[in-house]
């Protein structure tokens, strides 16, 4: 019985699978200008996912918020957020303890002054890269559950990718207390499958 249960809960990675890590950047981590609570806790878990994908020569994509200094999302410009992830700044760098492989595909977003750009797909080249690489299933984790992860998952499902949500490797900003939970519920309702690292052999 336990064996049977276990086999159902395991996921076999293979061709057409890609890992997508959202916005593990200094500004979204403790000490950063838009720190996500417990954001640092998911880094070791994401490193575990990176190992699983790298060991099988499967592609790893890492997105980064990459704003111009006068971006519309900043309070100073009438937006909702403190200044964060300004292109080229220390705060916009990937966390030093995230073990991105040398082969990582880096996707910048939020680069247009006048567009928010939460979704990874707001960078138009991203969809083309996925299609060129024959990607059908996306394994999505990172920051923040209620903004970039949510909007990326919505777009991925609309584009008919199969989406696995790395439930042990996401954290929410929670402007309102329930935002993270609501986002997770919406993603699962729309078809994302929640998984944990232990389900990948």
Residues forming the active site = 23, 109, 148
| Residues 51-70 within binding reach of ligand VGL (CB under 6 A) | 65
**How far apart, in whole angstroms, are the C-alpha atoms of residue 130 and residue 36?**
28
**How far apart, in whole angstroms, are the C-alpha atoms of residue 162 and residue 138?**
6
For position 144 contacting ligand VGL by CB under 6 A, the verdict is yes
For the CB of residue 113, give the shortest distance to ligand VGL in the complex, in Å. Answer: 14
Binding-site string for Zn ion from residue 103 to residue 142, where x marks contact by CB under 5 A and - marks none? -------x--------------------------------
CA distances (Å), 11 to each of 19, 22, 98, 197, in order?
14, 21, 23, 10
- Applying CB under 5 A, which of residues 65, 83, 146, 168 lies at the interface with Zn ion? 65
**How far apart, in whole angstroms, are the C-alpha atoms of residue 56 and residue 14?**
8
For position 143 contacting ligand VGL by CB under 6 A, the verdict is yes
- Applying CB under 6 A, which of residues 81, 105, 161, 164 lies at the interface with ligand VGL? 81
CA proximity to 93, closest of 173, 170, 172, 27: 27
């Amino acid at each position: 019985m336990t064996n049977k249960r276990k086999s159902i809960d395991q996921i076999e990675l293979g061709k057409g699978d890609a890992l997508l890590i959202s916005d593990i950047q200094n500004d979204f981590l403790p000490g950063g200008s838009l720190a996500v609570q417990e954001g640092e806790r998911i880094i070791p878990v994401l490193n575990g996912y990176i190992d699983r994908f790298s060991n099988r020569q499967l592609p790893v994509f890492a997105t980064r918020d990459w704003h111009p200094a006068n971006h519309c999302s900043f309070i100073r410009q009438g937006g909702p957020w403190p200044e964060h992830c300004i292109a080229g700044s220390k705060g916009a760098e990937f966390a030093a303890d995230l073990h991105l492989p040398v082969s990582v595909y880096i996707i910048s977003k939020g680069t247009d002054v006048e567009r928010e750009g939460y979704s990874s797909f707001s960078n138009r080249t991203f969809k083309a890269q996925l299609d060129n690489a024959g990607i059908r299933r996306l394994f999505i984790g990172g920051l923040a559950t209620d903004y970039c992860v949510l909007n990326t998952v919505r777009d991925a499902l609309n584009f008919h990718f199969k989406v696995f949500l790395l439930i042990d490797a996401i954290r929410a900003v929670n402007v309102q207390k329930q935002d993270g939970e609501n986002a997770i519920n919406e993603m699962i309702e729309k078809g994302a499958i929640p998984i944990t690292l232990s389900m990948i052999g």
